[in-house]
């Protein structure tokens, strides 16, 4: 573990159209003590060659190429296992960071002594046009993250000195939520920055684009991470997760309606 170093964990899979912009958003950071570990999960496009062009120019960027596709959980864990930094942050190969993202979050960690931080973020389309804003809560206790994943993973960073090095559950989807649960189980609360510090790209056909298909993975997180029985996991999903999820959607609907009428 290198004190002060931020290890940026990035997975790459068929993101040749976006990975260059993602890397540029890291190169633009005002906090410069970072390493970016990009694990390619058997891309079929030119993404890896684009990364290699950046590797040749900046020693802080590394590329790891997998021989077999394992999904984002596996690829992220490979990057974490090859990281050297005290701080672990996540940025997928089609998302973007604001230039002051790392600096502001490290300042928050220093002022609060917390082990996990996050922020609000924009949503954008495939041409970088802003399509929305996801506002975060100022703090999220452990019980809240068990009910619903309220942390945008592209904004999350954790301090291994406070939590130890934690890996993601190696399932195809919702492994980011699983990691958030594991981290908050240790540090009990995470703190957020209300100002948006990242942009989450919504792409057609992405892993997270089909909400209905996520149901079985939500249940699996309760089973794998919290070690619930199958019945308890299903009941928790039906009577805890879903009410929080739809309550949040309903609240956002009324907020949008209210501001349109003003």
Rg (CA), the chain: 18
Token pair 């703190």: residue:
191
- Identify the helix (H) or strand (E) that includes residue 220: helix 215-224
CA separation for the pair 231, 253 (Å, rounded)? 32
Count CB neighbours of 220 within 10 A.
21
Characterise 205 by phi-psi region: left (phi > 0), alpha (psi -120 to 50), beta (else).
Answer: left
Least confident of 47-61, 84-98, 230-244: 230-244
- pLDDT for 66-109, tens place per residue? 999 999 999 999 999 999 999 999 999 999 999 999 999 999 99
User: Which string of b and e fits 26-53 if b means at least 16 CB within 10 Å?
Assistant: bbebebeebbbbbbbbebeeebbebbee
Contact 151/142 with Cβ under 8 angstroms? no
| Rounded-to-integer distance, Cα 262 and Cα 174, Å | 37
pLDDT of residue 69: 94
- The count of other CB atoms within 10 Å of the CB of residue 186 is 14
Q: What is the pLDDT of residue 244?
A: 87
pLDDT > 70? residue 26? yes
Task: Give the pLDDT confidence score for residue 18 in this predicted structure.
Answer: 97
pLDDT at 140: 97
- Read off the pLDDT of each residue in 144-172 and give the average, rounded to a whole number: 95
The token pair that represents 37 in the structure block: 């570990």
Q: Are 123 and 197 in contact (CB under 8 A)?
A: no
Reading phi first (left if > 0) and then psi (alpha if -120 to 50, else beta), residue 261 is in alpha
- Domains of the chain, first to last: 2-261 (3.90.550.10)
Phi, psi dihedrals of residue 115, rounded to the nearest 5°: -100, -15
Local confidence band at 119 (pLDDT 50, 70, 90 cut-offs): very high
How far apart, in whole angstroms, are the C-alpha atoms of residue 42 and residue 113? 39
Residue 155 has pLDDT above 80, yes or no: yes
List Cβ neighbours of 242 (8 Å cut-off, separation of 6 or more): none
Q: What is the pLDDT of residue 262?
A: 55
**Chain centroid to CA 89:** 8
Q: Which of 24-33, 107-116, 251-260 shows the lowest per-residue confidence on average (mean pLDDT)? A: 251-260
Residues 164-174: tens digit of each pLDDT: 999 999 888 89
Using one digit for the tens of pLDDT, what is the confidence trace for 175-211? 999 999 999 999 999 999 999 999 999 987 554 445 5
The pLDDT confidence band at residue 30, using thresholds 50, 70 and 90, is very high
Tokens, residue 245: 């999820």
């Amino acid at each position: 573990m290198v004190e002060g170093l931020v290890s940026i964990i990035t997975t790459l899979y068929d993101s040749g159209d976006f990975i260059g912009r993602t890397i540029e958003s890291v190169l633009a950071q005002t906090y410069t003590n970072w390493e970016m570990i990009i694990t390619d999960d058997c891309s079929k496009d030119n993404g890896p060659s684009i990364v290699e062009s950046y590797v040749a120019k900046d020693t802080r960027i590394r590329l790891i190429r997998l021989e077999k596709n394992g999904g984002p959980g596996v690829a992220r864990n490979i990057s974490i296992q090859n990281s050297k930094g005290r701080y672990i942050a996540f940025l997928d190969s089609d998302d973007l960071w604001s230039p002051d993202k790392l600096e502001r979050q490290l300042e928050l960690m220093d002022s609060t002594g917390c082990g996990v931080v996050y922020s609000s973020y924009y949503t954008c389309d495939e041409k970088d046009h802003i399509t929305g804003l996801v506002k975060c809560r100022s703090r999220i206790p452990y019980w809240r993250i068990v009910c619903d994943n309220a942390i945008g993973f592209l904004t999350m960073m954790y301090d291994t000195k406070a939590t130890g090095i934690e890996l993601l559950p190696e399932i195809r989807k919702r492994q980011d939520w699983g990691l958030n649960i594991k981290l908050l189980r240790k540090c009990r609360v995470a703190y957020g920055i209300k100002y948006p510090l990242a942009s989450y790209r919504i792409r057609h056909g992405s892993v997270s684009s089909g909400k209905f298909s996520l149901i079985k993975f939500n249940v699996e997180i309760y089973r794998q991470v919290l070690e619930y029985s199958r019945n308890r996991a299903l009941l928790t999903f039906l009577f805890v997760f879903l009410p929080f999820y739809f309550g949040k959607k309903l609240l956002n609907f009324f907020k949008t309606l209210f501001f349109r009428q003003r």
